Amino acid sequence: MTELILQALYSGLLQGGSYALIALGLALVFGTMKIINLAHGELVLLAAYVAYTAESQLGWGPVAAIPLALLATGMAAVGVHWTVGRIKQDREINSLLLTFGIGVILTNAILLTWKADVRSTSSSWLQEAFVVGPLYSMRSEIIFFAVSLALLAALWWWLSSSWYGRALRAVSSNRDAAKLMGINPGRVELVSFVVAGILAAFAGVALFSYGVIQPAYGGALTVKAFIITVLAGVGSIPGVLLGAVLLGVCEALTVTLASSSLQELAGMTLFLLVLFVLPNGLFGAVARRG
């Protein structure tokens, strides 16, 4: 029993790293523009299908397909930003409806292009077991867990040290004051969407390398990313990692100790409990000082 629990904790930790990678892009756009991009899960899924096409048609491995996935999701993210940028009134609610519609369009485009069959990687190297003492995982899970941590650290550094990162935080804090300081909010928001697209590309390739994909999976990815973003608290990169790991461990323990049919219920229960105790999220500010 102890070994089962340890394995569940280990699997949940690795799964949490993947969830964090999926949620980062949504959290970035939400923190910058106060917009919930409901097409984010479809962007992740698009990258996964690009990796599948590169493997099945060109014979490339998922890792080699990352540049193609970056190009595809980057262009799609710019397109989403362009359409959202046309909204002038009631931006929050109208962008919610708009990005939901874009997600539906992307889902059907993926369905028409790649059909409804379930796909997974055929790379035996990525699917080989990686053993650490009594703990087991796939090699791809270890690789992309490390990639997730590296991207989290890089994004944290970019937001805190680069000019665009500071400009992004300024626009998030006070859009009008940022304009007075010479910052172009439209350009900064475009950068945030492009960075979100880059993160979605890595998340999609990771998803394809260790799991299965199908066209209807995009909505579920968006829901998980939104749950993690709210758990973390708006604008908290460490909170995204902690929230994702908590969700991954909770789901893994539920599958091990109870039933796989309760996995999604356990995640939603955790979400509601955290919000009941900490309404601003794990790392959200209690109040904003003027």
Q: pLDDT for 41-89, tens place per residue?
A: 999 999 999 999 999 999 998 989 999 999 999 999 999 999 988 887 8
Percent of the chain whose predicted confidence (pLDDT) is above 70:
97
- The DSSP symbol for 284 reads -
Q: Please report whether residue 287 resides in a domain.
A: no
The sign one gets for the Cα dihedral 73, 283, 148, 12 is negative
Q: Please report whether residue 286 resides in a domain.
A: no
Q: Please report whether residue 283 resides in a domain.
A: no
| Spatial distance between the Cα atoms of 97 and 201, rounded to a whole number of angstroms | 24
With beta carbons less than 8 A apart as the criterion, state whether 49 and 79 touch.
no
Asked if pLDDT for residue 285 goes beyond 60, the answer is: no
Q: How many residues does the chain have?
A: 290
Count of CB atoms situated within 10 Å of the CB of 87: 15
Q: Please report whether residue 245 resides in a domain.
A: yes
- pLDDT at residue number 13: 93
Instruction: Provide CB contacts within 8 A for 59, sequence distance 6+.
Output: none
Task: State which residues form the domain around 234.
Answer: 2-277
163-169-172 Cα angle (round to 5): 140
Q: Please report whether residue 288 resides in a domain.
A: no
Reference 218, options 47, 91, 65, 97; nearest CA is: 47
Q: Please report whether residue 285 resides in a domain.
A: no
- pLDDT at residue number 200: 94
- pLDDT at residue number 193: 92
Reference 230, options 84, 67, 23, 47; nearest CA is: 23
| Spatial distance between the Cα atoms of 17 and 10, rounded to a whole number of angstroms | 11
- DSSP states of 118-135: -EE---HHHHSEEEETTE
The rounded Cα 237 to chain-centroid distance in angstroms is 12
- pLDDT at residue number 234: 63
- DSSP states of 39-53: THHHHHHHHHHHHHH
pLDDT, mean of residues 260-264? 85
| Spatial distance between the Cα atoms of 115 and 31, rounded to a whole number of angstroms | 35
Percent of the chain whose predicted confidence (pLDDT) is above 90:
44
Q: Please report whether residue 284 resides in a domain.
A: no
Q: Please report whether residue 290 resides in a domain.
A: no
What is the CATH number for 88? 1.10.3470
With beta carbons less than 8 A apart as the criterion, state whether 229 and 23 touch.
yes
pLDDT, mean of residues 24-39? 85
Helix (H) or strand (E) holding 138: strand 135-138
The total number of structural domains that make up the chain = 1
92 or 135, which is more confident: 135
- pLDDT at residue number 50: 96
